Structure 1
Amino acid sequence: MTLQTNVAEVERWASALGGAALAAYGISQIKNRSIAGAALAAAGGTLIYRGATGHCPMYAAAGISTAGDDFDTRVQLSGTRGVNIDEVITIDRPADELYRFWRDFARLPTFMWNLVSVDELDARRSHWKAKGPAGRTVEWDAEIINEIPGELIGWRTLDGAEVVSAGSVTFKPAPDGPGTEVRVRLQYNPPGGKVGSAVAWLFGREPSQTIQEDLCRFKNLMETDVPNW
């Protein structure tokens, strides 16, 4: 029986690598007669199978495929699919200044350390490159779908992207004093899906924490550097 491939290539890599690490850790715990270790080893084996075959039974049951041409943002992130992040920070700078820096997407890798580069293709579309598993890079195209100068930037990835995401960043006056409240809302389907996100969390790369750290670096950059743009 031939299994239908319903997992994108980058997800397969992430599943195989994450599964191998998870299985190895679980096996090391089994030696100590740990029930949790056995469960982790089993979960790792499932991820290895997912990566090796390109088939995910859960995707098949839900009618999901990230391997085909119908890899549409709205479909992949509908309902409870994907990972949801909502993080906020207050920065002692005017909203318009923060917006203008963020809107120049090529500057984002200066504080988003997982990003390698962002190239603007035109007024609304851009090409993103980020660090992926095993030293690989993950690339995708995105477009701005909502924008209010000085207040809001909303975006989504274009069809066929390896990382499916949609989100927004808002810049509003801080409610309890001077400065600007910067809020990032992000929904995305990471390489490996929610299982991949759980494995990342296990090894210290929880997505929400990453966004928090990015915002802290953004705050430090904007509050300590003299603007020259």
Structure 2
Amino acid sequence: MSSEARHTLSHTRKQNAAEVTGVERWASLGGGLWGIAGGLRKGGLMGWGQAILSGMLVYRAIKGECRLKGALSASPYEKHVAEAHHWQAARVVSHSVTVNKPREELYRFWRAPDKLAEVLTPAMHSEQVDDRTTRWILDSDPAKQLLVRLVDDREGEFLEWVSDSEALPPFSGWVRFQDALGRGGTEVQCYVTYEPAKGHLGYLADKGSGGTSHWLHRNLRRFKQKMETGEITASRPFT
């Protein structure tokens, strides 16, 4: 596994809580105490509501961190990726799924672009350029194409790609296969990072809506269903 891939594991396994420091911390404390006092003086439902919300500001200042801010802010790793690629912003998502099939079989499926295209949404098809390079073409808009290059290939264990496109945001990604301990089958973890259109605004829009995260989760569930049942049934929920 590449060093970048190993680095992302810590990013994807915990919720980021942004630090609250300096003037922002003191402002939260002062504003919170002022709001609590005002709410208690006001009384009633509105007053108590104000006091509770203001108490959250005080808690935020005492803890020195804010999960809401963290949820909408880029993680340290995302900032690192953006800086390394000279992007305005970087969006990083990761999901995993356990599939009741051996690692080698799942690896071979991901290694064959024509098979992988069967489970991906939105619908697209592939053209093999060489053993490590594939052109992916969006069926609904053939002008949108991705040239995807395989940069790390460890049979039965790991695959990593980078892309090049003028019509779509640049991205990189990897998928890791490992035996699911105590459950049988294989744990498949997939990671994707890309530069959102419109920079930080695009990042906030995607993180707020969960667009890329939902897309990756849905495609992994489609992959699981295809491998375990041989077909993808739209009526079955992907949970």
For 1:166, give the aligned amino acid.
Answer: S
Q: For CA contacts below 8 A with separation 6 or more, give which structure has more relative contact order.
A: 1
Residue 196 (structure 2) pairs with residue 190 (structure 1): yes
- Identify which of 85, 106, 112 aligns with 1:98: 106
Q: Encode CA deviations 1:186-212: one digit per residue, 9 max, x unaligned.
A: 11113334433544566x661111100
Question: Cα 1:75–1:131, aligned 2, differ >3 Å: closer, same or farther?
Answer: farther
Residue 213 (structure 2) pairs with residue 208 (structure 1): yes
Distance in 2, Cα, partners of 1:194 & 1:130: 25
Cα drift, residue 109 of structure 1: 2.5
- Identify which of 117, 120, 123 aligns with 1:109: 117
Extract unaligned runs of 5+ from structure 2.
Answer: 1-80, 232-239
Structure 1-normalised TM-score? 0.57
% identity of equivalent residues: 25
Cα drift, residue 74 of structure 1: 8.2
Distance in 1, Cα, partners of 2:214 & 2:196: 15
Q: Name the residue aligned to 2:95.
A: 87
Q: Name the residue aligned to 1:174.
A: 180
Q: Name the residue aligned to 1:221.
A: 226
Extract unaligned runs of 5+ from structure 1.
Answer: 1-72
Asked if structure 1 preserves the Cα contact closer than 8 Å seen for 2:91 and 2:194, the reply is: yes
Q: Encode CA deviations 1:20-46: one digit per residue, 9 max, x unaligned.
A: xxxxxxxxxxxxxxxxxxxxxxxxxxx
Question: Cα 1:79–1:195, aligned 2, differ >3 Å: closer, same or farther?
Answer: closer
Aligned length: 151
Distance in 1, Cα, partners of 2:143 & 2:206: 16
Residue 153 (structure 2) pairs with residue 147 (structure 1): yes
Structure 2-normalised TM-score? 0.55
Q: Equivalent residue of 1:110, what SS?
A: coil
Distance in 2, Cα, partners of 1:108 & 1:100: 10
